[in-house]
Structure 1
Amino acid sequence: MAGKFSLRSIAFTLVAGVSMALASTAVQAQTLEKIKSAGVIRIGVMGEQAPWGSIDASGQNIGYDVDVAKLIGEEMGVKVEFVPNAVSARIPNLLTGKVDLQMAVMGMYPDRAKAVQFSKPYAGLKIILLSSTKNNIEKIEDAKDLRIGVPRGAAQDKSITTLLGDVPNIRRFDDDSSNMQALVSGQVDAIGGNTTYKINLDKAAPGNDFEQKLVFNEQWMGVTTKLGDSEINAWLNQFIDKIKADGRLEAINKKWLGEDKLPNFPEKLEGVPFTVE
């Protein structure tokens, strides 16, 4: 009797598991239709990281990610609701449903790809170390005794911590603007940032002597959704192909980054699938 009960229990569990998986797939397949039915899509962007995402004097969201997000809304035929994000809150905000899509300078890395689904890349930048011209830094070890600022949990935090270890002189800040302000005010001697930091530093402190010292890696950005959400992932990849082909993405790239041509986007990234597997 016990054996039969056990077998029936196992069979029931397997059937239930399959049913739950099918139900889950059905819910995921309805995501795009639900967004269209609601008439609004909530998209996560940065609130204080120009030129990717910031707030202008009239309180409007502006930036590279913002302009791409607006095109997503136009293509879907829905209104876009922008949700500003702290760096450390980007993935939690997506997974807890506070946003439908996350576009807050989402660098495409294998560890993140375990938690979220990336689209094809639509933007790129380099992760770098910036410091005064007075500091001679040719390799990261030259900066080991300097106070180095990073946004907590960002790609530059990981890069510098991996290379130097979690040393006490690495100072972590809640966002990019606080990180840059720490360099301008002299709280730190160098900061981990990206290639667009210099644009913002020149606005905040005209005539500064900050320069790019090191390049840690090239970072590609994709639109992120929840894992397994195949329908909206496929839609996003088609959308990115479309705005690359018709010149709209190139126009956004020139407007915000000052570059005449789009970068050569990779066809694949190790450990980061562009489609739901």
Structure 2
Amino acid sequence: MHDKSMQSLGLLRRIRTLAALPAVLCAFALPLATAQAEAIDTILQTKVIRVAASPDFPPYGLMNKDQKILGYDTDVAELIARKLGVRLVQVPAVAPTRIPFLTTDKVDVVIGSLSITEERKQAIDFSIPYGSFTFGIYGPKKIAVSRAEDLAGKTIAVQRGTPSEVTLDKMAPPGTKIVRFDDTNILATAFMSGQADLMAVGANVPEMIGEKSPAAKPEMKIVFPGLPIGIGVRKGEERTVKRMNELVMELRQSGELDALSKKWFGVPLAPL
């Protein structure tokens, strides 16, 4: 009788253990699933895509009088959101804050004229290019500059956190004074007020100055190599990168990116 009671007790314990097993497995699986969640999962779940956008880099991004960001990047972001079936929320981010906003989860992706560089690839991942831009050193006609050596003794304005800054730092000879700004508009104002002889910027900045004052439009002095721009994604989020690549490729093949290039730059989309 004692043996039967012990057997019954052991069987009861095994049943209780088996009954509790699913709950235990779920407890371990839940944190694992959460840890593996990527931006694309959050986007599809919340039906919202939070995008870091440049508010001061026309025609890629510019703030209108209603404090809404417009431009090439905005149109690309809207197409991406539409294809995903989600709502677009743009988060203004000047150049130095774009990557920090992404890595600290303030945004899901960056669609803000973010050029693809080896240095940035150490911190984040990128989609395939959805555009490109030309940048270099610009200045008034009266200043004769055509090579790096000519920069000695000159004051050059540049925006922090941009490829222009990286390239300028590498090529500037001793005696060059580099003045750094966080905002494109402040940089352009400083240049126009005579605080700098030259500026290292994207081709959009001289165009912006020329629209306001055609006679004061700076001319290209030294051309830097052009750079592709892509969608910035948090490091290691392979499924998010894959989905962004698919969407960008759709926009390329459909001609929608080409149409946006003609709309904002007046020229067809350059080969990517």
TM-score by length of structure 1 reads 0.83
SS of residue paired to 2:189: helix
Match among 193, 198, 210 for residue 201 of structure 2: 193
Cα distance in 2 for partners of 1:98, 1:162 equals 32
| 1:225 correspondence with 2:233 | yes
Q: Deviations along 1:55-98, whole A, 9 cap, x unmatched?
A: 11222220000000001110111111000112111111100001
**C-alpha separation between the residues in 2 aligned to 1:199 and 1:32?**
36
Aligned to 1:176: 184
Answering whether residue 171 of structure 2 is matched by residue 151 of structure 1, we say: no
Measure the CA separation in 2 of the matches of 1:106 and 1:166: 29
Q: Which runs of 5+ in 1 are unaligned?
A: 1-18, 266-277
Q: Give the structure 2 partner of residue 120 of structure 1.
A: 128
Contact 1:184 1:205 in 2 (8 A): no
Q: CA deviation at 1:253?
A: 0.6
Extract structure 1 runs of 4+ deviating beyond 3 A: 26-31, 165-168
| Corresponding residue for residue 74 of structure 2 | 66
For 1:58, what is the secondary structure of its paired residue? coil
Q: Is the 8 A contact 2:152 2:176 kept in 1?
A: no
Give yes or no for contact 2:127–2:241 (8 Å, CA) kept in 1.
yes
Distance 1:238 1:212 in 2: 36
**2:39–2:108 Cα contact (<8 Å) kept:** no
Confirm whether residue 262 of structure 1 aligns to residue 262 of structure 2. Answer: no
Secondary structure of the corresponding residue to residue 121 of structure 1: coil
Rg comparison, structure with higher value: 2
Q: Give the counterpart letter for 2:170 in structure 1.
A: T
* 2:32 aligned residue: 23
Cα distance, 1:137–1:75 mapped onto 2, change above 3 Å: same
Provide the C-alpha distance between the structure 1 equivalents of 2:99 and 2:141, rounded to a whole number of angstroms: 36
When you count helix as a share of all residues, which structure comes out higher? 2
- Residues 130-186 of structure 1: CA deviation (Å, up to 9, x unaligned): 000001111021122111000012111111111126866100011111111111111
Q: What is the rounded CA distance, in whole Å, between the counterparts of 2:230 and 2:223 in structure 1?
A: 21
Structure 1 residue 28, shift from structure 2 partner: 4.0
Give the equivalent residue in structure 2 for 1:16.
none
Identity %: 27
Q: After TM superposition, list the pairs within 5 Å mapping 1:6-85 onto structure 2.
A: 23=32, 27-85=35-93
| 1:209/1:54 CA distance change after superposition, 3 Å | closer
Q: In structure 2, what is the Cα distance between the partners aligned to 1:45 and 1:28? A: 26
Deviation at 1:209, TM superposition (A): 4.5
Distance 2:37 2:46 in 1: 15
Post-superposition shift, 1:217?
Answer: 1.3
**Using a 3 Å threshold, how does the CA distance of structure 1 residues 140 and 83 change in structure 2: closer, same or farther?**
same
Which residue of structure 2 lines up, in the alignment, with residue 161 of structure 1?
Answer: 169
Contact 2:209 2:217 in 1 (8 A): no
**d(CA) in 2 for partners of 1:238, 1:161:** 36
What is the RMSD computed on CA atoms of the aligned residues? 1.9
CA displacement at 1:23 relative to structure 2: 3.3
Q: Within 5 Å, which residues of 2 pair with 1:90-129?
A: 90-129=98-137
Letter paired with 2:70: I
Question: 8 Å contact 1:127–1:217 — kept in the other structure?
Answer: yes
Find the aligned partners of 2:203 and 2:271 in 1 and give their Cα distance.
Answer: 16
Moved more, 41-50 or 161-170: 161-170
Q: How many residues align?
A: 244
Q: Secondary structure at the match of 1:157?
A: helix
- In structure 1, distance between residues paired with 2:133 and 2:198: 19
